Amino acid sequence: MRAPELWGGHECTVNRVEDQWLDQSRLSGHQDRPDDLDRFAALGLKALRYPVLWERTEVSPGCFDWSWPDARLERMRSLGVRPIAGLIHHGSGPAWTDLLDPAFATGLARYARAVARRYPWVRDWTPVNEPLTTARFSALYGHWYPHRRDEPAFWLALLNQVDAVRLSMRAIREVIPEARLIQTEDFGHTWSTAPCADQARFENVRRLMTWDLLTGKVVPGHPLWLRLESVGLGPRLDAIAEDPCPPDVLGLNHYITSDRFLDHRPERYPEHARGGNGEVAYADVEAVRVLSDHASGWGHGIATLWNRYRLPIAITECHLGCTPDQQRRWLATCWRAALHARNEGIDLEAVTAWALLGSHDWDSLLTRWRGSYEPGVFDVSSGRPEPTPLAGLVRELASGRQGEPGSPGWWETDERLLYPPCPSLAPMSGTRH
């Protein structure tokens, strides 16, 4: 069985908090180090998720500065590494727009057409990275601009981003008919105690909404159709369902923290984990920290997406903020899950070594600039990228070797349990409709 391709990507988020902007490419130094691309290519990567971000390129309405992407994409082309062009990565667009702007989708589509005309040889595109996650952080939790904390704003932000994807791909394909949509989203499962079962079912349906919308599944009878219709979004849902934009590849992003556990006994957990839905008070914690029988979610996530959509899948972010040996274990576990999926007949195209240059300030969800840093395949804390032990594993996988997983990861031992252990209940996917 042929192994999946190995892709890469450096953390490239540009997000906004009030009037401050955080640009990961500048924080990592990649902004001024074009030779990073040579380092990436030397790993043996076939493709690279790469930013051609709207906020960074359209400096004023209709005025573009192409100098940075021109140089970087041409260098990638000469190195034989395919770009997967990203246009929004946890952002809300340039300063004159935001996720709730009625013109957000058409604005991104205009920009997408300009990018496609500039780089007509680029085949793979991600117009908006993780629309659901970005909508949650920006319009439901208030972490990022425009800092809303209400459900109607969340759904509107999500639909605006989904429309931005649809319109952008239409514009791109007018220039590049063979262009592929690689649609990324964070994916995890929510377990719960029995009193929180309804909330867990809701969250397990909501997690799929980016892909459900793009594939035209959100129609009357979908578990969340009436919820969106009740806030006046029914006509938007109809328009999307009548003109869907199914991804060519589903991009699965999964982290240890993606799987959640809801417990109706919030007093068992620290204050920051406590909340509720207005009907039930509960704690929301990482499932790995409390479920006595929790297992890594790679296999579950791949199988769930394949069974639901029957579309090609790529793991588009595999990253763990931990010690180098544990990072190796996490990637090796992911790679083995991908090999197993391919052996089972699942069209699993690639695994992406994410955060090649590490990431900054994600421990605060990019809401505070504290200067915290976690290395990735390279460590840039000295100002110059230095390969970490993870780089050796990436080279092994790229060369066709399977790579030794090493000793068990902390998430596979009892050391992971921070709270009184609970058994998981029967899976509550809520995805049959």
pLDDT tens digits for range 393-421: 999 999 988 767 678 999 999 999 999 99
In a domain, 167, yes or no: yes
Range of 356's domain?
A: 5-416
The reported pLDDT for the residue numbered 43 is 98
In a domain, 282, yes or no: yes
In a domain, 30, yes or no: yes
Q: pTM of the prediction?
A: 0.96
| Chain segment 337-357, per-residue pLDDT in tens | 999 999 999 999 999 999 999
**Average pLDDT for 122-136:** 98
CA distance 197 to 189: 13
The reported pLDDT for the residue numbered 1 is 66
What CATH number corresponds to the domain at position 63? 3.20.20.80
> Read out DSSP for 166-220?
HHHHHHHHHH-TT-EEEEEEE---EEE-GGGHHHHHHHHHHTTHHHHHHTT--SB
In a domain, 375, yes or no: yes
In a domain, 427, yes or no: no
388: its two tokens: 């970490």
In a domain, 425, yes or no: no
In a domain, 428, yes or no: no
| Chain segment 51-86, per-residue pLDDT in tens | 999 999 999 999 999 999 999 999 999 999 999 999
The reported pLDDT for the residue numbered 74 is 98
- Mean pLDDT, all residues of the chain: 95
Looking at the structure of the chain, the number of domains it has is: 1
CA distance 198 to 21: 37
- Going from the C-alpha of 370 to that of each of 22, 68, 211, 363, the distances in angstroms are 12, 27, 34, 9
The reported pLDDT for the residue numbered 425 is 65
The pLDDT of residue 139 is above 50: yes
The pLDDT of residue 17 is above 70: yes
**Average pLDDT for 345-370:** 94
Q: Which residues contact 196 (CB under 8 A, 6 or more apart)?
A: 262, 263, 264, 280, 282
In a domain, 50, yes or no: yes
The pLDDT of residue 199 is above 60: yes
